[in-house]
Amino acid sequence: MDLLTTLVDKGLRRELPTREEALAVLATSDDDLLDVVAAAGKVRRTWFGRRVKLNYLVNLKSGLCPEDCSYCSQRLGSTAGILKYSWLKPDEASKAAAAGLSGGAKRVCLVASGRGPTDRDVDRVAGTIKAIKDQNEGVEVCACLGLLSDGQAERLREAGADAYNHNLNTSEATYGDITTTHTYADRVDTVNKAHAAGLSACSGLIAGMGESDEDLVDVVFSLRELDPDSVPVNFLIPFEGTPLAKEWNLTPQRCLRILAMVRFVCPDVEVRIAGGREVHLRTMQPLALHLANSIFLGDYLTSEGQAGKADLDMIADAGFEVEGTDQVTLPEHRASAGGGCGSHESDGGCGSQGVCGSAPASTTTATSTTTAQEARTDLVAVRRRGTGTDLAPNA
């Protein structure tokens, strides 16, 4: 396909595809799916080899959130039967992190529900970061605490945080349809605060909320413009008790096309398969490793994931290797320059206007033959082990 040849060439040059090209990836047919995976896989291997970075989530504070994000089981008004608890103490959080690190995780992601941290909350997290780093040499720590106020990103950096996560989730045009208690601009502002403080920015999306192909392309192009070092791709877990419980819009094939599109738009960025991979990719998860170079190990915040041993077996069986703490995740040009996914590093990343891409290629888009899956509520398991319980985690 001329489209895929063009996209591979651009990916190897770190050039931005056109919107039409990105949309064409999402519109490819199931007959062409393996060709799409192979093309995006070439770009992935060029920048990340066959390494897979493992990340581990620790839910520092579960539930009780005042925000109304429709996709979230911890939201205001959620009746999902999730675990609810207040802040873990630093030693509790460090013990929880140790399970993932012993399973091969390189980064610990510290997450807390809520609109954003108070200064006291930042102090709590600072103590947790210190406890984890004191006991685990070389570990990366990413904080995900919601919207940041002025000065908080700097304090987290001083405390030893390496990265900050705050996802855009969906396009600016449709953001108000999923959340009303804060704005899309609030989220962009927090990602920019993380950048400015010298933290590695982590920002991604959630697919499967009823969005259009145009919405998906919009949010991924916006992410390219923000230029995070890592882009987590979540697939909606439709929890009973949330407004999006009936949204079963994804198939394994569509998930792979979405991951391929993200890889083409952000070729040299850490693309992470995040929540929902077991629910929607299912037996096609190994193919997704040809597109993404990072996954979460074990369970998620409020749902149970694939067993950690199964994750490690999957990586090995697919011919990949777990990235070690002595290996640098990002390509040299990003790691040394502090970021920049575009072809002009001094620009700090390319925007969504195609300024560093070549002229649009002439493409013929096929219509996907895949239809949305039936509800698989049997695959959605509320987390009942690990952090906040007396049971061991599955990592």
- Out of 14, 19, 109, 187, which one is annotated catalytic? 109
Check if 144 is active-site.
Answer: no
Vertex 270 angle, CA 268 and 273, to 5°: 130
Q: Which residues are annotated as a binding site for [2Fe-2S] cluster?
A: 109, 142, 202, 272
- Residue in 14, 19, 44, 69 annotated catalytic: 69
- Residue 34, number of CB atoms within 10 A of its CB: 13
Catalytic pick among 44, 72, 255, 257: 72
Task: Name the active-site residue from 14, 157, 272, 277.
Answer: 272
Name the binding residues for [4Fe-4S] cluster.
65, 69, 72
3-state secondary structure at position 293 = coil
Alpha helices in the chain (DSSP H): 2-13, 19-26, 33-48, 90-102, 119-135, 152-158, 175-178, 184-196, 213-226, 252-265, 277-280, 285-288, 308-317, 332-337
366 touches 11 (CB < 8 A): no
Q: Binding site, residues?
A: 65, 69, 72, 109, 142, 202, 272
Find the catalytic residue in 14, 19, 44, 142: 142
- Give the single-character DSSP code of 295: E
Active site residue 356: no
Q: Is 350 a catalytic residue?
A: no
**By the 8 A CB rule, do 87 and 61 touch?**
yes
Two tokens, residue 202: 């982590």
CA nearest neighbour of 102 among 58, 129, 136: 136
Q: How many CB atoms lie within 10 A of CB 367?
A: 7
DSSP summary character for residue 20: H
- Catalytic residue, chosen from 14, 44, 65, 187, is 65
CA atoms within 13 A on the CB side of 47: 31
**What residues pair up with 230 in beta bridges, in sequence order?**
202, 270
Catalytic machinery residues: 65, 69, 72, 109, 142, 202, 272
